[in-house]
Amino acid sequence: MHTLRQERDIVEITAEVDPYLELAEIHRRVIQDGGPALLFTNVKGSRYPVFSNMFGTSRRVDLAFGPRPEQLMKDIVGLTHKLVPPTLGKIWGERNLLLDVAKTGTKTVSAGQAPILEMVDAPAKLSELPVLTSWHEDGGPFVTLPLVYTEHPSKNDHNLGMYRVQIYDDKTTGMHWQIHKGGGFHYHEAERLNQNFPVTVFLGGPPALIASAIAPVPEMLPELLLTSLIMGEKLPVAKDPHGGKYPLIAEAEFAIVGHVLPHERRIEGPFGDHYGYYSLAHEFPVFNVERVYHRKDAIYPATVVGKPVQEDYYLGEFLQRLLSPAFPLAMPGVRDLWTYAETGFHALAAAVVRESYKREGLVNAFRILGEGQLTLTKFLILTDKPVKLENFTALFEQVLERFDPAQDLYVLGNTSMDTLDYTGRRLNHGSKAIMLGVGEPMRTLPDTYQGADLPGIRKIESYCKGCLVVEGASFEEDPELAPRLVDLAADKLREWPVVFLVDDASVAKSQSSFLWTTFTRFDPAHDIYAESELQRHHVGYKLPLVIDARMKPGYPDEVVTRPDIDQKVSERWTEYFGKTNF
């Protein structure tokens, strides 16, 4: 925060602001305009200030972490080549880097050196925290930057993850452990052993903690070690003076200590999430809070999630840059990898892979889909040619030039799916698809549709070369429109490899709107239509692929601001920021 003040990239709002809906709407408007970090010093119902939008621009992410972590990661990965085989001369030549690596880890400090131990509330009073309710259909107030620390019940492994926490009352919360994440694995084992499971939820502290908690690192890489690596020094921790099992992060703002009982469940949600929709209410474990440690002058950190682009977009960019040098080390044959924040990350990923022999790209696809959080990927696109993956238009055109539908599309049904993705029609269940575009181009892509009218289609736009976006009736009005397009208009669309059927074709105007609208609204096994034939258990497709990306019955509602809150924030805008705005 000191750096942000020096850079004049933070605004202090002294007017009273309600943590119920109002604060979140202010945050959303500021981040949409590329505005500053926000410090709310007069939050209704709480004595604690709220700090938000700390990572809301690429510049602030750079201020928080600097260039050192990325360079250090590149250097560490480079060691695997430089020191093989190891010799005294090689080791001596890399002594400075090895000394930097030796600085990583944790160090135990005294209570007097741990601000987190300045105050303790026991019993806990969670209602005193300025926990936000971001969307009006949310099931209650949610902690949106929780750093949930757990350890394996029988191994010396820890996990620091960001699993949302719904406040039920002063002493209990939900614990949204998804089945594919480290904290969920730990709890599953404790529940199998019928043990009470200790949990500590940290709020605040070094920015590297937040980055590490959301980083898609392999399970064997401890998050606190990654935190230390990003910081460039050991992470200070202190012993819990009340006998808690876990260490307390010395520089955190709050530490919420308690346990989760085996087999205890309670309804959690709904919640407006980073997919841009409401994730629905389901039963999740219950966190029973015993005490809350905090600084004397504690500041509550918060973020707001919703339709992209939000803070997680900029953090995701940083983490992918940070971890990209390690991808070839963990997954030989993978040259580059990118997941798209515009789709909630897990709905779409792309990679540049090696294709040194026929179908090696497919081998690399399965390697990607078997790695950590990448197992949640719904749609994976691969090429063997260098391309800047962040530019989806360039990637997609390169792939569509090379894509052979008879052998380069694989739809894998009956797989697991991200808990927040409801396109599979059942929680945690869905399908995946792999699309390859390798080798030399096999077609020239059109960029403008000049054919005849299409049956049932009222508007046609081109997103990029080879990709049409077409608008027709809603799914409820005409559920068979997509397969009918294949039956009646495939010949008119042969030169267009992919056709997305949407509710509003104007989404084709930008990468962000296109990716969010399309890839968050279809499940491959349900919603890809094409002429096809089965040969020796392989489905060979013919162009075009028609993908039904319309909203469908059973999908959660899109998050929108409640009209009275929209009006309230508009009317009070000068109270927050003065006439100079920001």
What residue has token string 């004397």? 296
Output the CA torsion 357→362→364→370 (10° steps).
Answer: -150
Burial of 296 (0-12, 13-18, 19+ CB in 10 A): exposed
Question: Which residues fall within 8 angstroms of residue 195, CB to CB, at 6 or more apart?
Answer: 153, 262
In this structure, are residues 559 and 307 in contact, taking their beta carbons and an 8 Å threshold?
A: yes
Q: Which amino acid is at 436?
A: L
Secondary structure (3-state) at 211:
helix
What residue has token string 């040619």? 385
**Rounded Cα distance, 254 and 201, in Å:** 8
In this structure, are residues 516 and 382 in contact, taking their beta carbons and an 8 Å threshold?
A: no
Backbone φ and ψ of 89, nearest 5°: -65, -40
Two tokens, residue 402: 């090379």
**Rounded Cα distance, 530 and 547, in Å:** 9
The CA radius of gyration of the chain, in Å to the nearest whole number, is 25
| E strands, 465-536, in order | 467-472, 498-502, 528-529, 532-535
The alpha carbon of 459 is separated from its chain's Cα centroid by a whole number of angstroms, namely: 32
Q: Is the peptide bond between 470 and the residue preceding it cis, with omega within 30 degrees of 0? A: no
Secondary structure (3-state) at 14:
coil
**Rounded Cα distance, 51 and 295, in Å:** 15
Count CB-CB contacts under 10 A for residue 321: 14
Question: Which residues fall within 8 angstroms of residue 374, CB to CB, at 6 or more apart?
Answer: 216, 339, 349, 368
Residues serving a catalytic function are: 273
Instruction: List C-alpha distances in Å: 513 to 325, 502, 571.
Output: 29, 12, 28
Which residues on neighbouring strands pair with residue 541, listed in sequence order? 532
